[in-house]
Amino acid sequence: MALKVVCYINQFFAGLGGEDMAHTGPCIERKAVGPAMQIDNLLGGDGRVAGTVICGDSYYGEHIEEAREKCIEYIRDMSPDLFFAGPAFNAGRYGVACGDIAAAVAQKLGIPCVTGMYSENPGVELYRSKTFIVKTVDSARGMKQALEKMVELGKKLVSNEPLRPADEEGYFHRGIRKNYFHERNGAQRAVDMLLRKISEEDYRTEYEMPVFKRIKPAEPVKDLSKATVALVTSGGIVPRGNPDRIRVSSAKTYGKYNISGIEDLTPEIFESVHGGYDRVWANEDPDVVLPVDVLREMEREGVFGKLYDYVFTTTGTGTAVANAERFGREIGEQLKKDGVDAVILTST
Amino acid sequence: MRLELRNVFVKDVQWGEKTEISGGVLRINRDETIAAVSNDQRFVEINLDLAKPGESARIIPVKDVIEPRCKVEGPGDVFPGFMGDPCTVGEGATLVLKGCAIVTCGPIVAFQEGLIDMSGPGSRYNPFSETNNVVLTVVPQEDIEKHAYEEALRIAGLRLAWYLADKCRDAEPNVKKVYEKGSIPEENAKYPELPKIAYFCMSIAQGLLHDTFLYGTDIKHVVPTVIHPNEKMDGAMVSGNCVSACDKNTTYHHLNDPVIMELYSRHGKDLNFLGVIPAPEDTRLSGKERSTSFCANLAKMLGADGVVISEEGYGNPDTDLCMNAKKCEDLGIRTVVISDEAAGTDGKSQGLADATPEMTAFVSTGNVNEMVELPAMKKVIGYPEAISNLSGGAEESLKPDGSLFVELQAIIGSTNELGFSRIGARWI
């Protein structure tokens, strides 16, 4: 029996347009559109794509409940056997939409769902436990390979064929431990691993130690009227021209910029270089992300003592946790050294 | 120290007129054999049964498994402190009935004993579905104290293992294997370039039927010490454990320790095997501190570059495991640990009760909580109703048709942390 397949893609891959069309609400095409056409080809005689659900990334992100509900309605209506979303590569909002709809379809319709993402896509950590997410490269240049892997895994899931471990199947593991038989016994694997460790060769532990990082919140500010307050953002607001060349995504650096004497972040002097959200309004008025204007007012009113003379900025999209931790530690140390009492962190 | 293991292959086991082996068939005179192990007033009745590979048979509840061995040359005898004087063993020659095992059976503590299926899906998970088993079941005196019962059954099992081997001591061995290794300075001089590896054999030492014996003494009273690997092959370490079945080291596992086999097979090739450190796992934090400090210090004094650390049990021994790994790594000695995981029946929980960032090389021997379905067997040796009390079992585990739905941990040796089998938990 040929499988009935439904796919989900965003406005861009549907050919509707880029950021300018990201507000597009959900719609359904009763045929294969964009990457879904390639999925249809890859299915060969095993199935066909009966429909493609399309939704703008901004719309999905900003109306997540409504978008999900509408998409589910379209999908349920076609009663598919298998569902694909994306692949989203390293596109954060698209990744979240793909993860969210795949997880919802899996839960509500009980059919196998597969999407695909790059390891640093925030959708991976959010949805890996709820849907199968195939590992892809960070951009659409890996479309062909991504779709092949997705279709292969999807077919396997529908056929109820027993799966190999996640690293062999090529998807992000869902946080579940399952017993398998290795080729060699535990003692043989242990001695091998030890010798590799001693000689500083690559080896792979079979169970990563769980890490519990708990950051103790700072004590509340005792007297706000005397406090120095700082602004720190992962929203990518930088002096016009991006003097420190902070990357638009997967940031490896952050910037520190003097705002003393600046009352308002105007588009003439600041801009957003963030690669993960619609920058139109942030570029019209950078204060919507980094609210210097409002804080100056409050400073004048005496709500707090002083606005710290510098802002720290990075782009929080596709940023590795290890880098983010380092940024936080270094920024925190400087703020502490300069006697800052409180920080407002803005994200996007 | 040089030890020759003379392996006589047992392909079948049958009742017979005379206890002997010929043509790979071990024949046992049942009455004489029962009489040989009956010299204990704590027993009212002793039974012997046979269970063979592929047979539709279940043995439940299992306490220990022992490989029949006896000394044929050299000082002392196997299981020193029990069958022989507690003098150093590991020298000379030892006869082994390979492919045969003694299984001791009987409810003692009634919740931490396991089962063996000789066929079906359960047989994949334990090595004793592949051995020709002689099952010793005893009925103890009424009101016998549990420790006395455990001791009596433990000694009867060792005696039976020695007795059967002794009856076959003149048999022509199928294979002779020599295990030879000199003193540490001698081996260091031979292999100056090779990484020096020690082995911590962590062993439950918690009292209340959670015990391990070294040369006949309970190791909870012993600080970690160094033994030659050959000593273990002659039964220097004996299980007195009624711990969760999946990851207790039976005496059979100690005799055939896979870590020792692997380190020996690579000794002089890509490593220099220093020796074995039996490491007690105490219940108390001070005991864990003491034991792990001794272990790490011994490794350092031996000049170890690396240590293989095997755990026994799960839960609080995870702390001993972490402390051993951390203390060695802090001294610059690299470690690998072998442990199972308790990741829940859904596999989604954190698998260890304790963790430390130094434990960067972890070999998993499986999730003990994974559910397995075991169909009914035609023959049941022992007490099938014991499943409701077994670790990993429950009241509803035993279904009316005789099948079982249990956690893997109910199967003896299924996630053995010496790394005896090939099973391991992986991410899905």
- The tens-digit pLDDT sequence of chain B (428 residues) is 999 999 999 999 999 999 999 999 999 999 999 999 988 888 888 999 999 999 999 999 899 999 999 999 999 999 999 999 999 999 999 999 999 999 999 876 555 678 999 999 999 999 999 999 999 998 888 888 878 888 999 999 999 999 999 999 999 999 999 999 999 999 999 999 999 999 999 999 987 678 999 999 999 989 999 999 999 999 999 999 877 889 999 999 999 999 999 999 999 999 999 999 999 999 889 999 999 999 999 999 999 999 999 999 988 899 999 999 999 999 999 999 999 998 888 888 888 888 899 999 999 999 998 999 999 999 999 877 666 555 555 556 777 887 888 889 889 999 999 999 999 999 99
Nearest-Cα distance to chain A for B32, in Å, is 39
- Contact list, B362 vs chain A (CB under 8 Å): 205-209
Nearest to A177 among B334, B343, B357 (CB): B343
Question: How far, in whole angstroms, is CA A203 from its chain's centroid?
Answer: 29
Residue A297 in 3-state DSSP? helix
Between strands B2-9 and A237-239, the pairing is unpaired
Q: Could you tell me how many CB contacts below 8 A there are between chain A and chain B? A: 164
Nearest residue in chain A measured CA to CA from B422: A185
Nearest residue in chain B measured CA to CA from A183: B422
Nearest-Cα distance to chain A for B194, in Å, is 10
Nearest-Cα distance to chain A for B40, in Å, is 38
Nearest residue in chain A measured CA to CA from B348: A176
Interface touch B258/A185, C-beta < 8 Å: yes
Interface touch B422/A181, C-beta < 8 Å: yes
Residue B140: the pLDDT is: 85
Asked if residues B165 and B68 have their Cβ atoms less than 8 Å apart, the reply is: yes
Residue B353: the pLDDT is: 82
Q: What is the pLDDT of residues A34-60, one digit of tens each?
A: 999 999 999 988 999 999 999 999 999
Residue B150 in 3-state DSSP? helix
Residue A250: the pLDDT is: 60
Residue B242 known to be catalytic: yes
Interface touch B425/A178, C-beta < 8 Å: yes
- Contact list, A182 vs chain B (CB under 8 Å): 422-424
Cβ-based neighbours of A157, under 8 Å, separated by 6 or more: A82, A112, A114, A132, A163
Interface touch B363/A190, C-beta < 8 Å: yes
Q: How many beta carbons lie within 10 A of that of residue A48, not counting itself?
A: 15
Is B142 exposed, middle or buried (CB count within 10 Å of its CB: 0-12, 13-18, 19+)? exposed
Task: Look at residue A1 and tell me whether its pLDDT is greater than 70.
Answer: no
Q: Which two tokens stand for residue A202?
A: 């690559």
Residue A273: the pLDDT is: 86
**Rounded mean pLDDT of A131-135?**
98
Nearest-Cα distance to chain B for A19, in Å, is 36
For chain A, give the percent of residues with pLDDT over 90: 84
Residue A212: the pLDDT is: 58
Nearest-Cα distance to chain B for A96, in Å, is 21
Interface touch A187/B338, C-beta < 8 Å: yes
In angstroms, rounded to a whole number, what is the distance separating the alpha carbons of residues B246 and B390? 11
Residue A317: the pLDDT is: 66
Q: Could you identify the residue written with the tokens 């060792």?
A: B158
Nearest residue in chain A measured CA to CA from B264: A191
Residue A210: the pLDDT is: 72
ipTM of the complex: 0.96
Residue B348: the pLDDT is: 86
- Among the listed residues B70, B201, B242, B322, the single catalytic one is B242
Q: Which residue out of B246, B314, B373, B427 would a mutagenesis test of the A interface target, given it has the greatest number of A Cβ atoms within 10 Å?
A: B427
Please, which pLDDT band fits residue A215 given cuts at 50, 70 and 90?
confident
Q: Which residue out of A206, A208, A211, A213 would a mutagenesis test of the B interface target, given it has the greatest number of B Cβ atoms within 10 Å?
A: A206
Please, which pLDDT band fits residue A252 given cuts at 50, 70 and 90?
confident
Residue A313 in 3-state DSSP? strand
Domains of chain A and any CATH numbers: 3-169 (3.40.50.2300), 224-346 (no CATH)
Identity of residue A214: R
- Contact list, B346 vs chain A (CB under 8 Å): 176
- Contact list, B266 vs chain A (CB under 8 Å): 191
Interface touch A176/B351, C-beta < 8 Å: no
Angular region, B58: left φ>0, alpha ψ -120 to 50, beta rest: beta
Q: What is the pLDDT of residues A4-31, one digit of tens each?
A: 999 999 999 999 998 899 999 999 999 9
Q: Which residue out of B269, B423, B428 would a mutagenesis test of the A interface target, given it has the greatest number of A Cβ atoms within 10 Å?
A: B428
Coarse DSSP helix, strand, coil percentages of chain B, rounded to the nearest 5 percent: 25, 35, 40
C-alpha distances (whole Å) from B205 to each of A95, B201, B242, B256, B280 are: 52, 12, 11, 20, 5
Residue B143: the pLDDT is: 84
- Contact list, B310 vs chain A (CB under 8 Å): 190
For chain A, give the percent of residues with pLDDT over 70: 95
Interface touch B306/A197, C-beta < 8 Å: yes
Q: Could you identify the residue written with the tokens 């023959």?
A: B379
- Contact list, B261 vs chain A (CB under 8 Å): 187
Convert A213-243 to b/e letters by CB count within 10 Å (16 or more is b).
eeeeeeeeeeeeeebbbbbbbbbbbbbeebe
Q: What is the pLDDT of residues A69-88, one digit of tens each?
A: 999 999 999 999 999 999 99
